[in-house]
A and B are shown apart, each in its own frame.
Chain A
Amino acid sequence: MTAPHPGRPRAASTGGHGRSAANPARLTAGWRHPGPASLREHLDIYGPLPRVSGRGRAGFLADAVGEAGLTGRGGAGFPTGTKLRAVAARRGPAVVVANGMEGEPASAKDHALLTRSPHLVLDGAVLAAEAVRADVVHVCLPRTKPGLAEQVRDAIADRERSGVPGAPVEVHDLPHHYVSSEETSLVRWLNGGDARPSGGLGRPFERGVRRRPTLIDNVETLAHIALIARYGPAWFRQAGLPDAPGTMLATVSGAVASPGVYEIAVGTPVADLLGWSRARPDVSAVLIGGYFGTWHALRDVAGLPLAAGGLRPVGASPGAGVVVALPEGACGLAETARVLAYLAGQSAGQCGPCAFGLPAIAEDFAELASGRPGGTVLERLDRRLGVLPGRGACRHPDGAARLAASALTAFAADVHLHARHRPCLAARRGQAGGDVLPIPRPGAEGEWE
């Protein structure tokens, strides 16, 4: 545990979360206590909101964030400083959108962050608004979690009462479809349309909400911005890797004794994370990156750092920090079939290849997983997986195809058994046990508008 520095977050003892100097508690500093940290507690832990404009140059924050090497924590990993500069360079007032939608069913970090440290997110949002000359912040939250919006609104009211400066913040409850968390979906909904991706040629940073340059950042990214503004880029780089600095929030679930949200240094080896979450000894495969990610045999990724560069050799990406451990007793093919059926149902239905192709591969996978597949199912899958990527208005079909392809590789032995009409041991046992991957109740998301 690091000794507290004046003005630096105290490394909290989080019991069992493997805290060390290498894994400081930055975003999670106040998370010992249940419930949201009040404004008072927030200021106690982190210090006052820095006045960026007081430092003179409007580009100060963008430069600091760029120097810090912060990348988007929503899954795409785009350099945040670059994004800030791109929006700030446009003329006219801008808009900031805080993306708290958390479309990945297996992710819980945004929800945890918003319920425990809402003021970190709000600090980051108003600082970003100042940096890009935005006159409003829109916080987008899922409609399926009404309590969340209420908490955030309370925090905002708290700040207003205490006279915390910053652009006005509006909280919105959006439909919670899988693709509704995508950037163009948010813009479209805020402009009065459906929460569906828009395939047109408009780029949000040029023309987004109300045709203004729009900065869209994940809530965790904004929280990191709030800390970089306080402690500087050098401090940010003290954790993580040189080419992937800082900490990140990861959600671990599945065959682990301590599932939950962990703050880790970027680049922490996968095995370490599984160790802290007390993964069961029979874990044989992991899903990295959520349903937009990929399956891997544990032995292939255990030693690899949880970072974009570190995982690239095996074709993986940390995404939004979702890690799901699959025990030996579960059938990866059956789990994937369930997920693909879910993803097919979550298609916005705007593009033919996704609207038709995803249900088709979900059916194929269900057939494969059932243990009695027809002779041509692998050939069909192969053909279909080849034509899905890049042919939609968004990357939803790409993600589903990639997940399916990774399952065929990671569970090749099971594919071999299933194809010979012998259900794998896991499938047989899996029928008695529960499903591992969480699938939201169909229809719970509500409509699209």
Chain B
Amino acid sequence: MTSRLHIDMAACSGHGLCADLLPELVATDEWGFPIVSGDAIAPSLLPLARRAVRTCPTLALRLLTAEEPEPYRAHRKAGHR
């Protein structure tokens, strides 16, 4: 069962602790906010990923399993793909 990182960007305030813990998976933009790829997490990194979820000051980080769908972003503004 693969997991991937998901960040609730509205809860995120850019503390950057996740990027400190998981530089392999989380990059930061010039304003300090995280950029995650959404790819599956390597099993060796899972413990660190779980720690990152616990450490996030605003609990913005979640581990989603492969089955869980991407959180809903309203189609009103989905635009074209």
Do A and B assemble together?
A: yes
A184 and B30 alpha carbons, distance in the complex (Å): 29
Q: Which residues of B contact A398 (CB under 8 A)?
A: 77, 79
B41 lies within 8 A of chain A by Cβ: no
A37 and B31 alpha carbons, distance in the complex (Å): 52
A391 and B34 alpha carbons, distance in the complex (Å): 9
A76 with B10, Cβ < 8 A, contacts A201-B72, A353-B29 known: no
Q: A78-B75, A356-B31 are in contact. List 14 more A-B contacts (CB 8 A).
A: A76-B79, A78-B78, A99-B76, A182-B76, A182-B77, A199-B8, A316-B80, A317-B80, A319-B79, A350-B9, A351-B33, A352-B12, A352-B14, A391-B33
Cβ contact within 8 Å between A399 and B80: no
Cβ contact within 8 Å between A351 and B79: no
A387 and B29 alpha carbons, distance in the complex (Å): 7
A75 with B72, Cβ < 8 A, contacts A351-B9, A391-B35, A393-B10 known: no
Q: Which residues of B contact A399 (CB under 8 A)?
A: 77, 79
B11 lies within 8 A of chain A by Cβ: yes
B43 lies within 8 A of chain A by Cβ: no
Q: How far is the CB of B38 from chain A (nearest CB, A)?
A: 9
Cβ contact within 8 Å between A308 and B75: no
B55 lies within 8 A of chain A by Cβ: no
A75 with B9, Cβ < 8 A, contacts A199-B71, A202-B72 known: no
Cβ contact within 8 Å between B11 and A317: no
Q: How far is the CB of B45 from chain A (nearest CB, A)?
A: 21
Partner of B79, one of A99, A317, A356: A317
Interface, chain B (partner A; CB < 8 A) = 8-14, 29-33, 35, 71-80
Q: Which residues of A contact B76 (CB under 8 A)?
A: 72, 74-76, 99, 181-183, 216
The 4 closest A-B pairs by CB, nearest first: A183-B74, A317-B80, A199-B10, A352-B33
The 10 listed contacts between A and B (C-beta, < 8 Å) are A72-B75, A78-B78, A201-B72, A292-B77, A308-B80, A352-B33, A356-B31, A356-B33, A392-B10, A393-B73
A397 and B50 alpha carbons, distance in the complex (Å): 29
Interface, chain A (partner B; CB < 8 A) = 72, 74-76, 78, 99, 179, 181-184, 197-204, 216, 289, 292, 308, 311-312, 315-317, 319, 350-353, 356-357, 384, 387, 391-396, 398-399, 402
Chain B residue with the shortest CB-CB distance to A311: B80
**Chain B interface main SS type:** loop
Partner of A402, one of B8, B11, B74, B79: B79
Q: How far is the CB of A94 from chain B (nearest CB, A)?
A: 17
Q: How far is the CB of A405 from chain B (nearest CB, A)?
A: 13
Partner of B73, one of A179, A216, A384, A394: A394
Cβ contact within 8 Å between B77 and A396: yes
Cβ contact within 8 Å between A76 and B71: no
Q: Which residues of B contact A75 (CB under 8 A)?
A: 76-77, 79
Q: Which residues of A contact B8 (CB under 8 A)?
A: 199-200, 393
